[in-house]
Amino acid sequence: MTKKVDKVTFSIVGAGSRAGGYLRALEENYPDGFEVVAVAEPRKEQQELYKKKYGIPDDMIFDSHEEFSKLPRLSDVVIIATLDNMHYLPAISALEKGYDLILEKPIAVSLEEVLEIGRLGDKHPNQLVAVCHVLRHSPFFRKIKEIISEKKLGNVIDIQHNENIGYYHFAHSYVRGNWRNTEIAAPLAVAKSCHDFDILLYLLGDKHCLKLASMGSLNFFTRNNYDEERMAPRCVDCSIESSCPYSALKIYSSGKIRSVVFDDSSAEALKKDLETSLYGRCVFNCDNNVPDHQVTILEFEGGVHATFNISAFTDKIHRSLKVMCEYGEIRAIETKKEIEITYFGSSEKEVIRTETLAGGHGGADTAFMKNFMETYLHGKSFASTLPMSIESHAMAFAAEESRLRGGEMIELKRFLNERSEQ
């Protein structure tokens, strides 16, 4: 869909790090092609930052998405980048008011809400809903798909896909942080891994998932591992802090994790903030309930199978995969942007290094925004529309349902039909 505009206007609902990353991509690639005209964000410091940076007038700054949603359409596009449990209502309102959307994943925290947004999207086919399944847009995964599509290796038989969360990232986001508990966020398989289920669908093209089974649990980051004699509720008071790899002081002073939720400008400021912040808690004394490891087996059309493993217990944060085909295999490591191709019967290996872009998810956020703007302005095809993303969300919710049922095999079509009827 081509929009005949010289400059795309944006409203921001949720002015956190995700929205900030997308706007930086626009600043770097379309500096004269966009304008931020409104922001809905409860944090006053973020409101002030956006007001100054983008020249937003006071009457276009809102304390909540509810206030923003009371007004008629204010811009061409709204970026919805709130916390997971605040995606549904802003998305519904935006669709009804005629906005085009950039919608952070997950689409919503329940499959029923996801399907409702999908049904409303079907009623507004001329509105673009760009779901932030950014990995579809990255040069790395696009190259893997290109190699598969060329058929030089024959057909895909199996895929092994790993999401290595990184021990420190898991501690930050899924033990101490906003995605630690399903009372306030989507399950791990949805919040973190709807990206990965989506990538499996993307790589396999026209092959739908038929059934899956998933197992996983919260084994390590529990109160069973909290030693009251040696540990303390907060890292700043703990006798073993200096030797603990999960120490908040150690993780946040290392620069591995940068956060907008506390002050890490100096060692003194960091320590003071961690005395009261949720992020200063012992990882064995939090209110987390999401699994720290999970494995899913999947069957796709045409007899193709895949295994997907997600784990907190890795040193690095990256995705790695092996695609096993009839006449060769592909091994790929996301952080290195390196793809190795082996042809059976040949001792030679072909190594491809893909383009590196600035921005989150290894440059995929930047590629996503470039794809969005080219679609919006020039009618090019878009790689992660709402209908494309519904299926991968269904897979993720089915994986969590299977995990809760002790690894029961779930047929996707039946599961989706049952939820659609509820």
* pLDDT number for residue 156: 98
* pLDDT number for residue 385: 84
d(CA 189, CA 399): 7
Give domain status of residue 2, yes or no: no
* pLDDT number for residue 1: 53
Name the domain boundary from 115, 131, 147.
131
* pLDDT number for residue 113: 95
Same structural domain, 125 and 141: no
Same structural domain, 303 and 366: yes
Domain that holds residue 271: 223-280
Packing angle of the helix pair 364-378, 17-29 (nearest 10 deg): 60
| Exposed e or buried b per residue across 319-340, where buried means at least 16 C-beta atoms within 10 angstroms of its C-beta | bbbebbbeebbbbbbbebbebe
CA geometry: angle 297, 301, 305, nearest 5 deg = 30
* pLDDT number for residue 360: 72
Same structural domain, 327 and 206: yes
Same structural domain, 29 and 51: yes
Give domain status of residue 69, yes or no: yes
What residues of the chain score a pLDDT lower than 50? none
Same structural domain, 44 and 79: yes
pLDDT digits (tens, 9 = 90+) for 213-252: 999 999 999 999 999 999 999 999 999 999 999 999 999 9
Same structural domain, 358 and 239: no
Same structural domain, 309 and 367: yes
Name the domain boundary from 240, 263, 280.
280
Rounded to 10 degrees, what is the CA torsion of 82, 85, 88, 93?
-50
pTM for the model stands at: 0.92
The CATH number linked to 150 is 3.30.360.10
Same structural domain, 406 and 383: yes
* pLDDT number for residue 384: 84
Same structural domain, 174 and 122: no
